[in-house]
Structure 1
Amino acid sequence: MPELPASVRVAAWVTHAWAGGVTLTEAVERALPDVDHTEGLVEQLRLWRDLGEAAVLVALPSPGDLAGLPRCGPIATDAAADAGEALYVAGLGGLLVPSVSTFGSAGAEGLRIDWMAHDADPVPPHRIEALEPSQLERHLRRRLLLAIDELDAVGGTPWADEIARDLVDERLGTDWALPTALPERARKVIALAGTVSLAAEVGLQASGALTAAGDESRAVALRSLRRESERTLADATNAACAAMAGWVPSR
């Protein structure tokens, strides 16, 4: 089953734990039920909490688009962009970047995530506190409508095959196994952004354009929509974490 990025799940569950919802161990287990082994995560989370952090935040950068990533050195920047995700804390500054691998023999492989800590600058709190889920939702819905118009103009159907449609339909309206303590509006935006990102990814894998030129135009539109949904997903998650940490009222 498709899931939200690991960093999104960890940010939501660990911030919930830090607010007294569950234990840290339970939070990591809930966030990463599909992962058999983690290294470097719990230790850094405990350190951040002991040093007074109240929320874990998330960035979903990509090569050439570092939106949401705190200022950090080139090694950390490249690692986060290549991974497509990272955790960070705003007060002290600091970054955790995941690296996914498998272990074990063929037919009995396990999934492992190693989390590498990097230095990063603190993030001004007002940048997180200003995130408004309702505005994020309106922006993403406008971007989705624009992408639909672009795809209609190109011709062809991005989700032409039955498997692709079923995969997208499976996730519509679900809550992506997030903590119940998430503010309802932020939860709605996270679910929407996760579904749009998945739909764009599936569309990129299932060619439905009528010509080679159309296929490239369709891919450009879908990649742009996917990036927009990833930015919204990170921002909505951070808005939810800010609310659970008590920085802003739930909204």
Structure 2
Amino acid sequence: MPELPASVRLALWTTLAWTGRLSVAAAVARSFPGVDHVTGLEPTLRAWGDVGERALFVALPRPGDLTGLPRCTPAVAGHAAEAGECVHVAGVGGILVPTQSEFGPLGDTGLRMDWTVYDAEPAPRHRLEMLDLRETERRLLEDMRMKTEQFEAAGGHPWDRQARAEAESGLHHTLWGLPEQVAPKALHVMAVAATVGQLAERARSLTGLGAHGADATTSARREQLLRSLSADADAALAQATNVAVMALAGWRPA
């Protein structure tokens, strides 16, 4: 099971740090369990905390889909979409975007993430507070049902019981190491979104999917449906994370 996006962990741990329950340095250390070297975060996170920011939000954009991204220049939006993730603050405005790379000799490489801070417009707080966990989960499950039907109509079966079981069994690995203060309702929706995203990505990695010899049009339709469902799952994961962030920051009840 893939790890959660680094920005999800970073948003939760940094928000907790801004409540005074741990240092920013400790929050950064806990946010990247699988990364060997991280740069560009602590000075900006401390500065944002010093000017009164108390909630660090996450967005998981992708090329052609900038859902959740605050207003910024096209170049910044392009970097965030290429990275597939970023964090931002709603008050003073600002966005941090990672660049991931490997370092070291062949056979002994490490993973590094270098973060760059950019200007961005403040995100309207009332829009963030409108996020509803129940609606986020309902919409995601409905999207999954519809796209499953459309996929089967195009030919093939995107997942079976075994695929679902494998995705669900990996959730413990995916969701481990998050702050224990994360609201259970938000954590549940994060788990649902992570499961759906894993199912979509796993189906994209398969070749047959129950219909050998599919023509180019059918294959393209399948790919489009799975990419769309993966984007839906990312959007739900970001929304659930941001609800958890607001609860940690005291903006809304847990």
Q: TM-score range by the shorter chain?
A: over 0.9
Question: SS of the counterpart of 2:53?
Answer: coil
Question: SS of the counterpart of 2:235?
Answer: helix
Corresponding residue for 2:253?
A: 249
The offset of 1:136, in angstroms, is 0.7
Distance 1:204 1:183 in 2: 32
Distance 1:80 1:42 in 2: 19
Corresponding residue for 2:123?
A: 123
Corresponding residue for 1:170?
A: 169
Corresponding residue for 1:218?
A: 222
Conserved in 2, the CA contact under 8 Å of 1:209 and 1:218? no
Distance 1:52 1:18 in 2: 9
| Structure 2 gap ranges (5+) | none
Q: Which runs of 4 or more aligned residues in structure 1 lie more than 6 Å from their structure 2 counterparts after TM superposition?
A: none
Conserved in 2, the CA contact under 8 Å of 1:58 and 1:86? yes
Q: Deviations over 1:28-50 (max 9, x none)?
A: 22210111111101111111111
The offset of 1:77, in angstroms, is 1.1
Question: SS of the counterpart of 1:179?
Answer: coil
| Structure 1 gap ranges (5+) | none
Q: Scaled by the length of structure 2, what TM-score is found?
A: 0.91
Q: Deviations over 1:195-242 (max 9, x none)?
A: 211211111111215212332222111111111111111111111101
**Root-mean-square deviation (CA), in Å?**
1.8
Conserved in 2, the CA contact under 8 Å of 1:13 and 1:28? yes
Change (3 A) 1:201 1:41: same
The offset of 1:17, in angstroms, is 1.9
Q: What aligned pairs does 1:53-132 form with structure 2 within 5 A after superposition? A: 53-132=53-132
Conserved in 2, the CA contact under 8 Å of 1:181 and 1:244? yes
| Paired amino acid for 1:227 | A
Distance 2:230 2:122 in 1: 28
The offset of 1:107, in angstroms, is 1.7
Question: SS of the counterpart of 2:114?
Answer: strand
Change (3 A) 1:206 1:24: same
Conserved in 2, the CA contact under 8 Å of 1:140 and 1:193? yes
| Paired amino acid for 2:169 | E
Conserved in 2, the CA contact under 8 Å of 1:174 and 1:191? no
Corresponding residue for 1:227?
A: 231
Corresponding residue for 2:50?
A: 50
When structure 1 is superposed on structure 2, of 42-51 and 14-23 the one drifting more is: 14-23
Give the number of aligned pairs: 248
Corresponding residue for 2:7?
A: 7
The offset of 1:175, in angstroms, is 6.2
Distance 1:124 1:105 in 2: 46
Q: Deviations over 1:144-184 (max 9, x none)?
A: 11122122222323348x8x677524324666122111111
Question: SS of the counterpart of 2:66?
Answer: coil
| Paired amino acid for 1:116 | T
Q: Scaled by the length of structure 1, what TM-score is found?
A: 0.92
Change (3 A) 1:209 1:220: farther
